[in-house]
Amino acid sequence: MDQQSGLTLQDRFISPKAVAHQLGLSMATVYRLLEEGEIPCIRAGRSYRIPARLYEEWLSKRQQAKDDGGL
């Protein structure tokens, strides 16, 4: 387990392409959000790995903020 992120080897990952499709965003926008740290990710060389659990938590927080009028 990674002490800093809480990730384990059993965690699954989502591709940036899947995120773009799910959110209805362009790949360029998804990569910008990844680079800015807006979407949680791990950098592996030149690739981005998006831990599914952290992504789902991020979506929940984003939806909650939207419901509360924050976005």
- Whether residue 1 lies inside any domain: the answer is no
Q: Domain for residue 6, yes or no? A: no
Give Cβ neighbours of residue 3 (< 8 Å, ≥ 6 apart).
none
**Given this model, what pLDDT does residue 34 score?**
97
Mean per-residue pLDDT, 30-44 = 95
Q: How many domains does the chain have?
A: 1
Q: What's 28's domain CATH number? A: 1.10.1660
Higher pLDDT, 61 or 71: 61
* 32 falls within a domain: yes
pLDDT at 2 > cutoff 60: no
Output the pLDDT for position 58.
95
Q: Is the pLDDT of residue 39 over 70?
A: yes
- Partnered with residue 48 across adjacent β-strands are 43
Residues in the chain: 71
User: In this structure, is residue 23 part of a structural domain?
Assistant: yes
State which residues form the domain around 62: 13-67
Flag whether 18 is in a domain.
yes
Whether 24 maps to a domain, the answer reads: yes
Is-contact 48 41, C-beta < 8 A? yes
Asked if 55 and 14 touch (Cβ cutoff 8 Å), the reply is yes
Q: Is 42 helix (H, G, I), strand (E, B) or coil?
A: strand
